[in-house]
Amino acid sequence: MEWNEETLKNLSQCFLNTLSPYPEPRRRAEASLTEAADRPNYGLVVLRLVAESSVDDQIRQAAAVNFKNHLKLRWSPNARPSGSNVPLLSPIPDPEKEQIKTLIVPLMLSSAPRIQSQLSEALAVIGNHDFPKSWPNLLPELVSMLQKAGEVSDYASVKGILGTANSLFKKFRYQYSTTDLLLDLKYCLDSFAAPLLQVFLQTAAVIDSAASSGTPVATLKLLFESQRLCCRIFYSLNFQELPEFFEDHMKEWMTEFMKYLTMNFPALEEGGGAEGLAVVDEVRAAVCENICLYMEKNEEEFSGYLSDFARAVWSLLVNVSASSSRDRIAVTAIKFLTTVSTSVSHKLFADDATLQQICRSIVIPNVMLRDEDEELFEMNYVEYIRRDMEGSDLDTRRRIACELLKGIATNYREKVTAIVSGQMQSMLAKYAENPMANWKYKDCAIYLVVSLAAKKAGGVNASTDLVDVQSFFTSVIVPELQNQNVNEYPMLKAGSLKFFTMFRNQLPKHIAIALLPHVIHFLGSESNVVHSYASSCIEKLLLVKDDGGRARYTASDIHPFLLVLMTSLFNALKFPESEENQYVMKCIMRVLGVADISGEVADPCITELTSILNEVCKNPKNPIFNHYLFESVAVLINRACEKDPTLISAFEAKLFPSLQTILVNDVTEFLPYTFQLLAQLVELNTQFPPHYMHVFEILLLPESWKKAANVPALVRLLQAFLQKAPHELNREGRLSQVLGIFNRLVQSPSTDEQGFFVLNTVVENLQYDVIAPYMSHIWAALFTRLQNNQTVRFVKCLVIFMSLFLVKHGSINLMDSMNCVQPNIFPVILERFWIPNLKQITGFIEFKLTSVASTRLICESPALLDPAAASLWGKMLDSIMTLLSRPEQERVEAELEVPDIEESIGYSATFVQLYNAGKKEEDPLKEINDPKEFLVASLANLSSLSPGRYPQVISGNLASENQAALLQLCKTYNRPIV
């Protein structure tokens, strides 16, 4: 691509169209740019457009964004769009790269702030790949430019250069320490450490003189922004280890750091308004992060400065207002004190008066609710809950203040407990004096108990030294829960529900059950947070387990108010902004999973759920809510049909129109869920329903299998059809179509396991005379894959398949069908794959299947009973013993009892399994209870036919520990091998 007037005009128009509110011109422009990006010099031409001052700013901004993304995709030689299977993109040619590197730095420094930020990110992309080895002149160029800009006090350029260096050096914070990384760090330190200190001290001197000379606010802002960047670079260069230069010059750095924490800068803080104060606070926050880093990593070298900094930070915190604009400085300052409190220097906090002051002046003011918290509670309930309940609030004042108390309590638990308990009693007393005016004090007391509680066993159990949980619950929490006005003091109600949820394990069952109707009442609160917390409280209560893993709350406990509960939950979804409330829907799922579902409950529930499903189909936007919606449908079907199988037809009548809408309109996000629900419905029918044949025919079409995210769900549905109607496979060539699906799936490592699921179901449900004509093709496909792309998972799946084939159709058919593909391949497969990989099998049914099949192989197969195969026989027995001797926890895969979908779930090209529509695993060997007993009984019977033969084979081929284990099994079951 050449740079000329026509190119400038065309590209400018394209970038302008990408900003169009209309989709058609936007799509055309994006397609044109994507096509142009493959041409040589595209990146260079776009960069020149960004530099063209005659072009409109919004076009240059769009071009800068495009340039940055172009570099992200194509600077690396092996770049490809993430998560896609498209071929590698053509990388930017080396000559073009060199020209870009020549132009980008000066252009970035001369650009407007918005464009500068995009070019800075682009430069960081280049730096991640090329700096320093393939861009050796960059750092010397930056140093030279920095010194020249500093000499003439050009702080706009100083800031730009420091911003570039900051982008380059960030990698030292986040990458693992390797020899290459440390060499890069040394290079940067050698070149940049001294110039950095020079510009930092020089800027500090300018700030000092500017304080009394009436320097314009805009200039002061530039100076402080430059100092903040110096501090961030300091952080990057010191992150891996304490460099010698910084240790030698620690006094200069710390002197200036102290100044920013202890001095005020009225010309900027007052004269510059809120923005001016924010700029100064950003420097203070960066300083706090630097001294916190030194506390964590260089405490010994930093010890001489610690007490002064602790006092400075403490004094700063006492004077920091509650305004949200000062949150960052408050949080970073408290983090520093928290780090000190857990270090060997914790004695700074040992004094009672110090602890009292920290609690009274720092902790309580930062835990008290602010206007900003109330606004978030009312205006953005999802974010409020994410911070308050789900622990994403580590960088909020409330949470970090509690972390400071926890840190101090590490060494002074009794003192902290006594002081905080006293403060809480004082706050509760204030509330009692005037509840209407002082409700925030009660909220603060509840928050302290909940936040300071120690969580155990994965967060399920919580304990606290601050209060007696039951006493505090009865006197402080229960009155709030029993208050009939669910809309009064909603934040206090939310805090009380959170306390109930947190300490649910410690509260006796009769107390919780008595309060459950009151919690259900809160589902009618107009506050989104309150009815969300009420839903979460009920949901978490139903998960409580007593000793032995027995559920504390059962169907009989919730039966008296089940209809009211379900009605209230569905009504909660009708509140504004709670139409897709994931906490309410998760509670619906959990209640349906515990309750006894009669027709009286099932009918209104499925009506409500399908109504919601029809609505979200129009625009799926909350993947977590939608997942719990489908889980709720699945568990309702399971539980209701468990009690009354005749309800299946009613469910089909209600669900089929919704599922058909999803299929017809190709609602991509919901297709995997739809196939799983259809599989569940097929399995619950006692006979194969003819009205499913149309779905079966669609399922066999190759086009249905093109979307990778649908494959596991399609396999699940196909298995259901094969198990329910194996006779249908004999008609119209359907078995060939099914095996064609297997063949496509098994060739790819990403879907081979799904291919085996299909094959296993075919082998398990069809007679051998039906599948015999196809076995040569099946083995050929498996052996081809084994030869071309062998993986551990594939081989394990192969061993399980061969074992299933053997127990269903016999060892003779197994061996003969394999040998038809290639003469005598069976012993080769046995020795190279079955025997070495048998011991890696996990899963209860798989463990039992493969051990029993292997036992039958050595006790029934003529090929292995031949004396010439004694060595192979012994190796197989050795592998069986290794498998049987493994501890149960190693060979049995743990299964989650309940699903808990992560926040990271989203609508990407991935499959999400419905736990409640999961396939019921069938044991193909129900008649065998103990595979160990089956082994020794089979060996004893075999050896009795040839006394003296097998002990010799065993001693010659089994490892000593396996011989000992086998002998022990023979004694245990009283079945000697003779």
Overall average pLDDT of the 303-330 stretch = 92
**pLDDT tens readout for residues 770-800:** 999 999 999 999 999 999 988 999 999 999 9
State residue 706's pLDDT score. 86
Give the pair of three-digit tokens for residue 569: 């939950």
Spatial separation of the C-alpha atoms in residues 549 and 498, rounded to whole Å: 24
State residue 714's pLDDT score. 94
User: Alpha carbon of 349 to those of 28, 287, 359: distances in Å?
Assistant: 65, 22, 11
Spatial separation of the C-alpha atoms in residues 591 and 594, rounded to whole Å: 5
pLDDT classification of 901: cutoffs 50, 70, 90: low
% of residues, the chain, pLDDT over 70: 95
**Cβ-contact 305, 348 below 8 angstroms:** no
Overall average pLDDT of the 25-51 stretch = 93
Burial code of 404-432, b = ≥16 C-beta within 10 A, e = fewer? Answer: bbbbbbeebeebbbebbbebbeebbebbe
Which range, of 444-448, 594-598, 617-621, 905-909, averages the lowest pLDDT?
905-909
Spatial separation of the C-alpha atoms in residues 209 and 220, rounded to whole Å: 11
**pLDDT tens readout for residues 56-87:** 999 999 999 999 999 999 998 765 554 444 45
pLDDT classification of 460: cutoffs 50, 70, 90: low
Rounded to a whole number of angstroms, the CA Rg of the chain reads: 35
**Cβ-contact 494, 449 below 8 angstroms:** no
State residue 900's pLDDT score. 62
Spatial separation of the C-alpha atoms in residues 96 and 92, rounded to whole Å: 7
State residue 458's pLDDT score. 53
Following CA atoms 800, 802, 804, 809 in sequence, which dihedral angle do they give, to the nearest 10 degrees? 180
Residue 273 has pLDDT above 90, yes or no: no
% of residues, the chain, pLDDT over 90: 75
Burial class of residue 606 (count of CB atoms within 10 Å of its CB; 0-12, 13-18, 19+): buried
Counting every residue, how long is the chain?
Answer: 978
Which residues is 551 bridged to in the sheet? 545
**Cβ-contact 911, 710 below 8 angstroms:** yes
More confident residue, 19 or 907: 19
| Run of H or E residues at 595 | none
In Å, how far from its chain's centre is CA 211? 49
**pLDDT tens readout for residues 682-711:** 999 888 778 888 888 888 888 889 888 899
Single-letter residue type at 964 = A
Residue 595 has pLDDT above 70, yes or no: yes
**DSSP assignment string, 485-554:** -TTSSHHHHHHHHHHHHHTTTTS-HHHHHHHHHHHHHGGG-S-HHHHHHHHHHHHHHTT-B-TTS-BSS-
Residue 779: CB partners within 8 Å, gap ≥ 6?
817, 818, 820, 821
State residue 890's pLDDT score. 58
Residue 438 has pLDDT above 90, yes or no: yes
Residue 252: CB partners within 8 Å, gap ≥ 6?
197, 201
Overall average pLDDT of the 816-836 stretch = 94
pLDDT classification of 911: cutoffs 50, 70, 90: low
Across all residues in the chain, what is the average pLDDT?
Answer: 91
Which residues is 456 bridged to in the sheet? 461
Overall average pLDDT of the 621-642 stretch = 94
Residue 352 has pLDDT above 70, yes or no: yes
**pLDDT tens readout for residues 660-685:** 999 989 898 999 999 999 999 999 98
Residue 904 has pLDDT above 50, yes or no: no
**Cβ-contact 552, 601 below 8 angstroms:** no
State residue 84's pLDDT score. 40
Residue 197: CB partners within 8 Å, gap ≥ 6?
245, 249, 252, 253
Instruction: Find where tokens 């003091």 sit.
Output: 489
What number of other Cβ atoms are within 10 A of residue 526's Cβ? 12
**Cβ-contact 682, 721 below 8 angstroms:** yes
Three-class DSSP category at 700: coil
Residue 328: CB partners within 8 Å, gap ≥ 6?
281, 282, 285
Spatial separation of the C-alpha atoms in residues 572 and 521, rounded to whole Å: 11
Reported in sequence order, the residue ranges of 781-833 that DSSP labels E, i.e. its strands, are none
Instruction: Give the chain's count of helices (H) and strands (E).
Output: 52, 2
Alpha helices in 886-930, H assignment, sequence order? 888-891
Residue 40 has pLDDT above 70, yes or no: yes
